[in-house]
Amino acid sequence: METRTQELNPSFSRRSRTELTGNRTRHLFTFNPNSAKPGEEIYVNIPKLKPDSVLVPDSMALIFDFKNANEKSWFRNNLGKLLQKRLEIRLAGEKVYDNSGESLLEIYKDLWMDEKQRADRIQDGITTEAVRKKISKDDEANADADATALFGIFGTKQRLKITKILGDHGLYAPYHSVNDLQYVITLPQASEIMNAQSGETVDGYSLENLELEYESIENVNLARKSECLYGAERELSFEHVTLMKKTEWDKSLTIVNETVNLPRRSMKAIVMLFTEKTPTDSEEYVFPNIDKVKVTIEGVPNVVYSQGMTKTRMYEEAKRLFGSDSNGQQSLIKFYKDKKFALVIDLRTPNDAKTYGNGVKIQNTQSGILIEIMKKATMTNVLCYTKCKRTGVQAIKTDEGDAAIALFESQSIAELFNEYFSNIGSSLSNQITSINSQGFESYMTHEASGIFEFATVVSTIVLIELEKLNSSKSTGPDNIPVKLLKDSKETLAPFLAYIFNTSQCSAIFHDNLKVERVSPIYKEVY
């Protein structure tokens, strides 16, 4: 009786589980051969799984035992990222990602994590020097209590996580993908990732007992949803990083000019990282006494830095790109004084149409992007690594049965659509049984000029279109009644014309304009 009364209460609602559930399985496969040495390449093929299984994001990793050839040496901090000297990602055999300086930027990004996150990353090689020495079997660390305790749990086991692309798209369904992903990791030399005791040398290392670890979820509903995505097409959008150049700055330089010709589209930023000529700390990025930076693109000052960027703004620009957590360990004093510096040049302003938004390349030009850096002299020479960050490649699968292919460059995708729509008339006509001698050309009364362009929108045109609106129609996602638009047309027309023209000039179609409200209407079945 009490339960019945409770359910009659207007504010009562019965709660039930509505989330999707499935069996979670942890997979562990041994490589063959199951060891790798400096300079060698490790090939990781993403497994297909079963039709009703999906890959859990951020779960794939290489597990191995780190074996040191000289027990008087140890690896530097963040071993999991250090081991990725070069990372290639291939889709259908074609490279979609290739960064020969992968570890340098990835280690810097990890400096912006908070202390709790870093403290939990011992398997990734982020830990104290005492623990790293213990894992490397350096006998100087034997007395450290924390190192002894952690070594008793993890031993020499370390992990190299594989997250690029896979970590950007939620649940991944390899079974429904026409083309397979392959990761190629090139290992660095021992001298690039290890330090030795005084008077000792770094002899080498090896990764033993290599295993591929990942998790999957078995769920029919998830599998069906993923099948819908991969059955027609699948976009792979990710952050692409390219090492453009490596230069040495003399300690006496006070003005440095760096020119970058960007061979890619849709640039996000240029990141410049600085290290000692012979670094011994993988997490040291020196501040080379920069006072001011000026940026010009094809001879025109960048809008964000039209007056130049002073050193007081450099931390904020880096934080805008790398800072994702208010509790991150990075700070002003660490950024400038404790060798955690990066020079970030933002290229995301829509006014710089040649670098972002319209797909135009800056390549093999006389000016390109010119970075003029004014600085003070430094105590020693520094190495400058110039990297470009961009929105990653979008891949689309053409529906050609067994001959299906993947396209990666924007121009190739555009040409595919252009070819399809330009031939759609003749393609459809070939499927129609002719009932007279006239072809479809006879019905085309206007000749096409062969030129397509956008005309500038004027207020009078907007007025005419507003007047044509049907006042009986329901409102759109913006909830603005049609009657209000028509009654205010003289006031709104100039502003709407400005918005339309700005969208055309900047080659940006705002996301809010891509939203539509669809209301299904019940149709009686007879």
CA distances (Å), origin 28, targets 24, 121, 211, 306: 13, 20, 6, 54
Residues in the chain: 526
Question: Which sign does the torsion angle of CA 490, 491, 492, 494 carry?
Answer: positive
Q: What average pLDDT does this structure show over 406-423? A: 64
Q: Which range, of 138-147, 273-282, 329-338, averages the lowest pLDDT?
A: 138-147
Q: Give the pLDDT confidence of 185-211 residue by residue, as tens digits.
A: 999 999 999 999 888 889 899 999 999
Model confidence at 526: pLDDT above 50: no
Amino acid identity of 83? Answer: L
| 3-class secondary-structure state, position 423 | coil
Mean pLDDT, the chain, as a whole number?
A: 79
Contacts of residue 449, Cβ cutoff 8 Å, sequence gap at least 6: none
Q: How far apart are CA 117 and CA 330, in angstroms?
A: 13
CA distances (Å), origin 328, targets 111, 117, 284, 288, 366: 8, 9, 17, 24, 41
Instruction: Tell me the pLDDT band of 507, cut-offs 50, 70 and 90.
Output: confident
Cis check: omega of the bond before 33, within 30 degrees of 0: yes
Q: What average pLDDT does this structure show over 148-161? A: 92
Answer with the residue of higher pLDDT: 378 or 234: 378
Place of tokens 């992968």: 102
What structural domains and CATH numbers belong to the chain? 21-232 (2.70.9.10), 239-397 (2.70.9.20), 451-525 (no CATH)
Model confidence at 446: pLDDT above 70: no
CA distances (Å), origin 423, targets 401, 420, 427: 20, 5, 6
Q: How far apart are CA 520 and CA 285, in angstroms?
A: 57
pLDDT of res. 273 = 96
Query: Taking the model in full, what pTM does it have?
Result: 0.68
Q: What average pLDDT does this structure show over 76-89? A: 94
Answer with the residue of higher pLDDT: 402 or 306: 306
Q: Give the pLDDT confidence of 447-477 residue by residue, as tens digits.
A: 666 666 777 888 888 888 888 888 877 777 7
Say if CB 205 and CB 81 are below 8 A apart: no
- Smallest CA-to-CA distance from 251 within 340, 335, 343, 375 is with 375
Model confidence at 401: pLDDT above 90: no
Taking residue 482's Cβ as centre, other Cβ atoms within 10 Å add up to 16
Answer with the residue of higher pLDDT: 17 or 446: 446
Helices (H), 98-219: 102-110, 115-119, 129-135, 145-154, 190-193
Q: How far apart are CA 42 and CA 36, in angstroms?
A: 7
Answer with the residue of higher pLDDT: 3 or 335: 335
